[in-house]
Amino acid sequence: MISRRADGYIFVLCGQSKPYRKNAMHGGSGMENHDDFGSAKLPSEELEKNIQYICNLFKGDDTLQIRRVSNTANQGMKFCLLYADGMINNKLMNDDVVRPLMEYRFPESCGDLVGLLQDRVVCSNSVERTAQVEKVVQAIVYGDTVLLAEGSPEVLLLNTKGWTARAIAEPESERVLRGPREGFNESLLMNLSMIRRKLRTPDLKLNLLTFGRRTRTKACLCYLDTLVDKNVLENLKKRLSAIDIDGTLDTQYIAELIRDKPYACVDTVGSTEKPDVVCAKLLEGRIALVLDGTPQVLTVPYLFIESFQSDEDYYLSFFFASIGRILRILAFYISITLPAVYVAAVTFHPEILPASLLISTSQARQGVPFPTILEMILMLIVFEMLRESGSRMPGLMGQTLSIVGALVIGQAAVQAKIVSAPIIIIVAIVGITGLMNPKIKGFTILLRFLILVLASMLGLYGFLFGNLALLGLLYQTDSFGIPIMSNNSTRSFQDFKDSFIRAPWWYMLKRPRGLTRNQKRQKRSGAAK
Amino acid sequence: MKRFVQCAVLAVLFGSLTLLTGCWNYKEVENHYIVSGMAVDEGTQGHRYHMTFEVLDLAGSGQNGEMKGKLFESEGDTIAEAVDNASKLGDKELYYSDCKVIVFSREIAEDGLTPVLDWLNRDPKPRITVQAFVSGEKTAGELFRAGSTSAGGGQQASQQSNGQQQGGVISIEIANSMEAISTGGRSQQMHIYDVDNVLLGQGRDLALPLLKKSGKQNNPVEVNGTAVFRGDRYVGEINDQLSQDYLLAMSSVENSVMVVGENPSERNLSLLIHKSSVSVDPEVSGSKISMKVKVKLQCSFDEENSERNYLLDLGVDKIENYADSTVKTRIARVVQQMQTQFGSDIFGFGRRIYQEKPNEWKKLKASWPQKFRTVSVDVEPEVTIINAEFAHPKGYT
């Protein structure tokens, strides 16, 4: 069923895949679960037996460390600390956990030993008391320390996380001339702290979630409570809870599982690496999903015009930003349509070409063996190969490869009369304009080829059909209930102000319609009008 | 699943529909010969028409952009038949949409242009933006051969066979030069739609530019004079000077120079015409028809070609008067030529009567060629010199 909501279209990706059915919401997909302990508890009160049990779970894992500690005052008190080497902050563990355990003067007999430890002894900012095996295992694998005490079936989970994360740096793919240069890194808590620093309001809600059976990746939903559309939030939460997957290493996994129209390449979930962008979107009533282990943050819902927006638009003057935006939209359109129009005009409709263009094209094509369409497709594929091979090479070599490859191949091909010169020009223009909008690169390439094939079969009629189909697809797609073209088809100026142009801030009085009920953004500005 | 199958079937159906069009109009652009000029002559082998087509030979053209032309000739009883016969001659198809020039020979024009124009108007292949000319030589086709007989090393000798090489492309040169000279008061661009307008309208006779061989190497064919028609039949031609006078009366003289002088023998003052407007007011009273032609010219004083300082001595007003009398003389001259020699109203006086006094026109229409000879034309020129370039005044103290 292709329906407007994604309810019928969420796939479960793992060893076996099964389509989502409305009833099977709770993970009963019949695959084997090695690491789901349900509500199993630790086996006994005896310390050694518990230690043995946990060590069996982690058999083969040599980084599991066991540290037995006794108290100096009371020799009978035996504790054990279990942790994974490399995940903990050693100093914190030594000073605040081991030392107090050794030095605290325990009374002779204490009723609730674990409670005492939690309240008085252990100097940790986050302590949880549990007997569930599930939680114990999760604590060890995530860098917490498990504190077992003799004679107690419950254990304490202490926060001692201390691994190194990548330093905060400017994201490679979202460079700006002006504006903040912070980028997210792979640590969930650091990312959340960056967001929190910009939105210092209790309105900012951060809901923690977990994804992936084997990765148990932590994620966080962020939104501003008074601004967000509750329907969208409910929709998102419903889709997220239906995801049942082995592991999520990047937000792209999640994005593909929750999107509307999964087979169409139209993005309905946006992603970004910069905290200021995320906060701007949160201020407009959107929801952000931050995933541990990746700097890419998802934002939902995602309008089509956002593919052409760059965060720099808001840090530069509105005039310059408007020009840039118009250029980008124009570049997108040219990148899609130029090969098709050229092929259609030259092969089916030479009458529309002015005489001198016709003559020079005809001259250029003398002696060329391939038909125009084949030339075009060949050179487009070659260009894509060049681009792809240069994109993952380190630094300078990649750029050199692309430039040298393009020049040499293009020039040589024209001189060898394999392709004609206008084709090279068109491929170069198409390539450059295609690189202007990196967010919809894949969509652009797909559309370019589709419209080219249509135009090569049916001339300008085919080109027209392709355009109509594209418009139909775009206007039909919803992102979590909100039409993705809602900014571009509107009667009031307020909605138009941020689409093709970027209106000055004193005009942006309202938030985008549809994203939120709470529309007023500012009461007045200080600018002299 | 069922829905998926339905969608898949629909997709396959629509996809195969696009393939079934069989590439309906697909044609590679280098597989055409681009026809740039046509010439219509009387047929020699019993046919009515002998047509010459000048096409661009792009395969023979080098990288330096030197374009060569090729000639194809064919005969036929109708224009369409001749065109059809021509399409069988070369190895590639002939493509007419970029044709720029069509030249009629005098014999064809004497028999009336209407039959010849029908194909140009009706068939979708040529466009009605083709410019029409009349050949001042014996035939129209020899104009396209003019380039190959000019002096110059490496030119091939002209042969009466199809597909021969030319030195340059005559029709493109003609078309380009018409752009330049049509705003210079030497000649008027007459596209086929202009010709249609004249022939379908009332009270005006056709006048087409005349092409002649110039004998020069780099511009073998040039526009020299105007061919005068009565209706659509050729009756004669007027020379270059009279053509310019005619255009003065038709207000197509912008950016050209008018030479005036104190008296007709002393013409040494040049005026550069910037704007011109002509309005013709007809007056019909009984059998007396008169036209008041008001000519307004805005000029700037461009040159005084003598030792005497005319501008300071005479002043602007006097020079304007000289210009007025020059305009009057010139227009009167060409009108008189038309009235006495040809009886053909190429100015459109009849049309003005039709526009202003349609009732009178109804009575005059049938006998307008005779009546035209009796029209008295009253020229009222008004030349304004708007500025003068002051070079160092000679002899001024």
pLDDT of B253 > 90? The answer is no
pLDDT of B396 > 80? The answer is no
Least confident of A13-27, A82-96, A188-202, A479-493: A13-27
Q: How far is CA B215 from CA B39, B104, B221, in A?
A: 20, 20, 8
Residues recorded for chain A: 529
Contact assignment for A361 to B67 by CB distance below 8 Å = no
Q: Please report which confidence band the pLDDT of residue A49 belongs to, taking 50, 70 and 90 as the band edges.
A: confident
Measure CB to CB from residue B25 to each of A1, A348, A368 and give the nearest one. Answer: A348
Residues B262 and B349 in one domain: yes
Determine which helix (DSSP H) or strand (DSSP E) holds A443, and give its type and residue range: helix A441-476
Note the pLDDT of residue A445.
Answer: 93
Note the pLDDT of residue A27.
Answer: 39
Q: Provide the residue type at B219 as one letter.
A: N
Residues B176 and B298 in one domain: no
Contact assignment for B26 to A348 by CB distance below 8 Å = yes
CB of B17 less than 8 A from some CB of A: no
Let me know if residue B319 belongs to a domain. yes
pLDDT of B123 > 60? The answer is yes
Contact assignment for A362 to B34 by CB distance below 8 Å = yes
Let me know if residue B82 belongs to a domain. yes
Chain B hits for A365, CB-CB cut-off 8 Å, are 28-30
Instruction: Convert the pLDDT of each residue in A453-472 to its tens digit.
Output: 999 888 899 999 999 999 99
User: How many domains, in total, are found in chain B?
Assistant: 2
Contact assignment for B26 to A363 by CB distance below 8 Å = no
Residue A274: phi and psi, rounded to 5, are -115, 135
Query: B165 has which bridge partners?
Result: B70
Q: Please report which confidence band the pLDDT of residue A491 belongs to, taking 50, 70 and 90 as the band edges.
A: low
Note the pLDDT of residue A494.
Answer: 60
Task: Please list, in sequence order, all residues whose beta carbon lies within 8 angstroms of the beta carbon of residue B338, skipping any fewer than 6 positions away.
Answer: B228, B344, B345, B346, B347, B372
Interval A260-288 mean pLDDT: 86
Contact assignment for B34 to A361 by CB distance below 8 Å = no
Least confident of A231-245, A483-497, B191-205, B285-299: A483-497
Let me know if residue B37 belongs to a domain. yes
Contact assignment for A457 to B95 by CB distance below 8 Å = no
CB of B19 less than 8 A from some CB of A: yes
pLDDT of A4 > 60? The answer is no
**For A365, which residue in chain B has the nearest alpha carbon?**
B30
The number of C-beta contacts closer than 8 angstroms across A and B is 60
**For A363, which residue in chain B has the nearest alpha carbon?**
B58
Interface of A to B at Cβ within 8 Å reads 1-2, 346-351, 355, 358-359, 361-363, 365-368, 371-372, 454, 457-459, 462
As for the ipTM of the complex, it is 0.77
Angstroms from A362 CA to nearest CA on chain B? 5
Query: A206 has which bridge partners?
Result: A222
Within chain A, how many helices (H) and strands (E) appear? 16, 14
pLDDT of A50 > 50? The answer is yes
Of B196, B213, B230, the residue that ends a domain is B213
Interval B145-150 mean pLDDT: 64
Q: Please report which confidence band the pLDDT of residue A381 belongs to, taking 50, 70 and 90 as the band edges.
A: very high
Residues B134 and B73 in one domain: yes
Contact assignment for B21 to A362 by CB distance below 8 Å = no
Chain B hits for A347, CB-CB cut-off 8 Å, are 26-29
- List the single best residue of B29, B68, B94, B125 to mutate versus A (max A Cβ within 10 A): B29
CB of B392 less than 8 A from some CB of A: no
Q: Which of A94, A90, A68, A65 is nearest to A79 (CA)?
A: A68
Half-sphere exposure of B28 (CA within 13 A, CB side): 18
Instruction: Convert the pLDDT of each residue in B312-368 to its tens digit.
Output: 788 888 888 888 998 999 999 999 998 999 888 898 888 999 999 899 888 888 888
Angstroms from A52 CA to nearest CA on chain B? 52
Contact assignment for B18 to A457 by CB distance below 8 Å = yes
CB of B61 less than 8 A from some CB of A: yes
Angstroms from A405 CA to nearest CA on chain B? 25
Measure CB to CB from residue A372 to each of B25, B28, B95 and give the nearest one. Answer: B28
Q: Which of B36, B40, B121, B33 is nearest to B75 (CA)?
A: B40
Secondary-structure breakdown of chain A: helix, strand, coil percentages, each rounded to the nearest 5? 45, 15, 40
Instruction: Convert the pLDDT of each residue in B182-233 to its tens digit.
Output: 666 778 889 999 999 999 988 889 999 999 888 777 778 888 889 999 888 9
The whole-angstrom distance between residue B304's C-alpha and the CA centroid of its chain comes to 32
Residues B205 and B253 in one domain: no
Contact assignment for A347 to B26 by CB distance below 8 Å = yes
CB of B160 less than 8 A from some CB of A: no
Q: How far apart are CA A379 and CA A427, in angstroms?
A: 7
Let me know if residue B268 belongs to a domain. yes
Name which residue leads in pLDDT, A433 or A16. Answer: A433
Let me know if residue B120 belongs to a domain. yes
- List the single best residue of A359, A372, A376 to mutate versus B (max B Cβ within 10 A): A359
Note the pLDDT of residue A521.
Answer: 60
Let me know if residue B131 belongs to a domain. yes
Name which residue leads in pLDDT, B123 or A10. Answer: B123
**For A372, which residue in chain B has the nearest alpha carbon?**
B28
Q: Please report which confidence band the pLDDT of residue A150 belongs to, taking 50, 70 and 90 as the band edges.
A: confident
Largest CA distance in chain A: 105
Contact assignment for A366 to B67 by CB distance below 8 Å = no
Q: How far apart are CA A454 and CA A459, in angstroms?
A: 8
pLDDT of B97 > 80? The answer is yes
Note the pLDDT of residue B131.
Answer: 93
Q: How far apart are CA A387 and CA A371, in angstroms?
A: 24
Domain span at residue B81?
Answer: 31-213
Note the pLDDT of residue A17.
Answer: 33
Residues B204 and B149 in one domain: yes
Residues B162 and B40 in one domain: yes
Let me know if residue B222 belongs to a domain. no
Q: In CATH, what number is assigned to the domain containing residue B344?
A: 3.30.300.210
Residue A150: phi and psi, rounded to 5, are -65, 130
Least confident of B41-55, B59-73, B239-253: B59-73
Contact assignment for B18 to A366 by CB distance below 8 Å = no
Residues B61 and B184 in one domain: yes
Let me know if residue B237 belongs to a domain. no
Angstroms from A344 CA to nearest CA on chain B? 9
pLDDT of A442 > 80? The answer is yes
Residues B55 and B204 in one domain: yes
CB of B312 less than 8 A from some CB of A: no
pLDDT of B1 > 90? The answer is no
Residues B70 and B132 in one domain: yes
CB of B98 less than 8 A from some CB of A: yes
Contact assignment for A365 to B61 by CB distance below 8 Å = no
Contact assignment for B56 to A359 by CB distance below 8 Å = yes
Contact assignment for A366 to B23 by CB distance below 8 Å = no
Q: Which of A226, A231, A224 is nearest to A287 (CA)?
A: A224
Residues B247 and B294 in one domain: yes
Residues B312 and B197 in one domain: no
Note the pLDDT of residue B41.
Answer: 92
Angle, helices A355-364/A421-434, rounded to nearest 10 degrees: 100
Note the pLDDT of residue B167.
Answer: 53
SS (H, E, C) B169-198: CHHHHHHHHHHHHCCCCCCCCCEHHHHHHH
Measure CB to CB from residue B58 to each of A351, A366, A459 and give the nearest one. Answer: A366
Measure CB to CB from residue B58 to each of A347, A362, A459 and give the nearest one. Answer: A362
Contact assignment for A462 to B18 by CB distance below 8 Å = yes
CB < 8 Å from A in window 196-255 of B? none
Indicate if the alpha-carbon torsion angle A513, A519, A521, A522 is positive or negative.
positive
Residues B166 and B205 in one domain: yes
CA-only gyration radius of chain B, Å: 27
